[in-house]
Structure 1
């Protein structure tokens, strides 16, 4: 029960932070059910973050996680932005959108001193990061109140890098996972592997607890990850149909359709590879297109296309983030789903010390 003791939770289930499809309600429900609920903060301004954290504090006394991105914010590139908008111009004409009236904007912001100041008011028990870690001085501010630090690794090298910088547990994000890839040491997607290949490799390489993420959608998947040495699992896609999620109507419809069986990594919606259900924009421009501006600047030009299409009931221009296994999506309360996900665990052998090799590993 290593992860439970570390994070002070009852069951080793972490609800993945999913910007754009959830707020405080989902995090509260999962934490109150004994797992670790998560609040994504990459798309929240300071005031919105304070409101969501206030809502969480008012509804649970259980530990919860707040999540931030750690990307380097790119400078404006007028030439690349113009090329991107030119590529999208047939769609702007189709929807009657004036491209010249679309403002540029970052869409998502990295962890900052202003965000750290807000967190200090609430002192969440867990803070997690994507795309590496923030600057040492910002990380130290988080550590001062005793928060446990988690971060995503997509390779063994990234896990070792994180361990060397003092994270308390590493999230092994397999290639199946929905949403943005967490890679940060290399942009070579050829280095990305599946969850059940990645987890035992990282378990052997590090001495800290490993949390499996990607393609895990039910209790059997949870048990399989634990059998490979994971101390817990992080699950996102399965929660997206829960009532507490804010998943849009078009996104919910896609998750419930046969389309959810076909996902791909795409940089069209933000500028960085992220896994989502294949739609018209991905088919026509190719899921990975070099014209897309650097993360997160691609978002601005896509936003009005998405809004127009969704107003007509279409998700063909929306980032329909989802993992490769949407079979666990259920329209049930998040608390019930959390308990179901943990239902197959037999608390015993799978809670080995993090440095101990998994039984399924080769000698």
Structure 2
């Protein structure tokens, strides 16, 4: 009888030690280890300048079963490919144009509470970020490995006990974080006046429209600066902005979002005897063309538009004909004076 009790106590102790060992192994490194049934996902935008406009967009994360070898084990438990029945396999975070650097990090999660696990063990998944194909955004291509430790439930069945995430490249336990950046570009508009009657001190009036779109809403602000000034001027998306430039002056929007559309016009183009032309340059694609009034979409290359107003005025032929007889008489008169002067000296 005593022997049976000893064996029973030994068995209970061994079971307890085994469970304690599992708990200790899983909890040994708390980074990347969650006790419970959910897996947090953090999205972090690389964003430090509040003058830059955050794109309005949605980031989507996906979880999928990972193929495993039949002999794979971890912490003494058999590793199986993850089960997706009862699991919502995508989750999202949203950003708006109003988000600034204090809201650059956002969190969502995957919930394993309703997954139909079939037995005790470790169920392995991969987590990745979908490429949303939004112009100017650099998506994170990192993949993460996730192990869900499943134990016997208190009321029968099976339930997740721990969720462990690892960097797929280093196999280190870490919390899942996807880091993204987004590009900005610039637009510079310069005025040049040429020709023998070009007005170098004249203010030429321009109209600039930043067009609202899917990622950049009407009413949001982008900063503009004029050459020779340190002031930053607000340009409102969806609202026409007027400015003037003399010969040699320019304006620049140096934190313009990639993927936004703009339209530039000059009020005095091809008026008052001027011929108006443009030179366009994209510092990635080189020389190009831009027609005033056309819609241009920004890319990573900085845009430079040189607007040239040329006016050359020729002397009217009628004026030359009218003055010709007087010119001949003047020559004759001058010749007569010279002749008389020489006669007197003689």
Answer with 1 or 2: which has the greater Rg. 2
Name the structure, 1 or 2, with higher relative contact order (CA <8 Å, separation 6+). 1
After TM superposition, the score normalised by the length of structure 2 is 0.18
Higher helix share: 1
